[in-house]
């Protein structure tokens, strides 16, 4: 969230019937948060995944872990989970998991940032930054042949999930670039979903996701995360490819004068 807004991740781990249960009031919107937290516990404690249970997000009995945006939860709740694991790991060294029934371990991580316009040297606007580059390749007919997408994610906790997010973001932005129109009237959509111009599965080109793992922050096992950034470079890459294709600058979306334009 950044820019000085209070930003805290929280996790509570409890041991019940010989298993570690994860409680975090954090929404999962496709990034696989439960998998991320489970993997972090297994990595930090050495426990097999069969001994870890991710409880569905519920702020009634789980600590508030803030908003879900981008992959914020991977970093913030992931770091809170790692901190909770410090106590759990120490307790496991004294006795087995079965001896910890009824015990709780709590972790919290506060990300400190500076508000916009802060009068401080080298202000910190956000905790972490992601970087990406994408390349679009057209075939001889001017249709999408391949999209190569390289994304710096720090540590990829679950590479398969990261690849899935890259692919999904690219497909989403392909439609934004070439085919989708979302007309509004008095701030309300006035068309049916099927007419928006979403790409069909048979129209998707080859997508090559490249995960760039570079040393990140010393939090959340080095994970920076990945989210909306997967959609940001796609339209410019496609526009650039069409400029190379026919020398025409296209400055409005969806791009006009392509094989995908409505006749």
Could you read off the pLDDT of 211-256 as tens digits, one per residue? 999 887 889 999 988 888 999 999 999 999 999 999 999 999 999 9
Residue 214: the pLDDT is 86
Residue 117 falls within a domain, yes or no? no
Q: Are residues 180 and 231 in the same domain?
A: yes
Q: Which of 75, 85, 76, 127 is nearest to 106 (CA)?
A: 85
Residue 77 falls within a domain, yes or no? yes
d(CA 100, CA 91): 8
Q: Are residues 12 and 75 in the same domain?
A: yes
Q: Are residues 91 and 138 in the same domain?
A: no
pLDDT-derived band of residue 3, with 50, 70 and 90 as boundaries? very high
Residue 74 falls within a domain, yes or no? yes
Torsion sign, CA atoms 177, 181, 185, 187: negative
Name the DSSP class of 136: E
CB-based contact 114:123 (threshold 8 Å) = yes
Residue 2 falls within a domain, yes or no? no
Instruction: Specify the CATH number for the domain of residue 99.
Output: 3.30.365.10
Residue 190 falls within a domain, yes or no? yes
pTM here is 0.88
Residue 46 falls within a domain, yes or no? yes
Could you read off the pLDDT of 69-81 as tens digits, one per residue? 777 899 999 999 9
Residue 79: the pLDDT is 95
Name the DSSP class of 194: G
Whether pLDDT at 263 is above 80: no
pLDDT-derived band of residue 195, with 50, 70 and 90 as boundaries? confident
CB-based contact 76:25 (threshold 8 Å) = no
pLDDT-derived band of residue 196, with 50, 70 and 90 as boundaries? confident
Phi/psi of residue 7, nearest 5 degrees:
-145, 105
User: What is the extent of the structural domain holding 173?
Assistant: 131-246
d(CA 64, CA 77): 10
Could you read off the pLDDT of 96-145 as tens digits, one per residue? 898 999 999 999 999 999 999 999 999 999 998 889 999 999 999 999 99
């Amino acid at each position: 969230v950044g820019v000085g807004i209070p930003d805290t991740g929280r996790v509570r781990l409890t041991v019940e019937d010989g298993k570690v249960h994860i409680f975090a009031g954090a929404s999962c919107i496709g990034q696989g948060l439960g998998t991320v937290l489970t993997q972090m516990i297994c990595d930090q404690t050495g426990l097999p995944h069969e001994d870890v249970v991710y409880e569905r997000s519920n702020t009634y009995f789980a600590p508030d872990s803030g908003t879900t945006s981008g992959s914020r939860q991977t970093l913030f709740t992931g770091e809170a989970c790692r901190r909770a694991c410090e106590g759990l790991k120490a307790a496991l060294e004294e006795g087995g998991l079965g001896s910890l029934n009824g015990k709780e371990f709590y972790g919290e991580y506060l990300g400190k940032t500076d508000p916009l316009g802060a009068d401080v040297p080298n202000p910190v606007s956000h905790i972490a930054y992601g970087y990406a580059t994408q390349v679009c390749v057209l075939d001889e007919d001017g249709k999408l042949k391949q999209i190569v997408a390289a994304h710096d994610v720090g540590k990829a906790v679950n590479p398969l999930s990261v690849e899935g997010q890259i692919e999904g973001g690219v497909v989403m932005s392909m439609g934004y670039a070439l085919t989708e129109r979302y007309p509004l009237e008095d701030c309300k959509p006035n068309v049916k979903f099927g007419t928006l111009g979403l790409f069909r599965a048979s129209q998707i080109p080859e997508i090559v996701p490249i995960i760039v793992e570079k040393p990140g922050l010393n939090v959340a096992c080095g994970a920076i995360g990945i989210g909306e950034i997967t959609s940001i470079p796609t339209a410019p890459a496609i526009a650039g490819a069409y400029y190379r294709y026919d020398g025409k600058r296209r400055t409005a979306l969806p791009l006009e004068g392509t094989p995908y334009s409505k006749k």
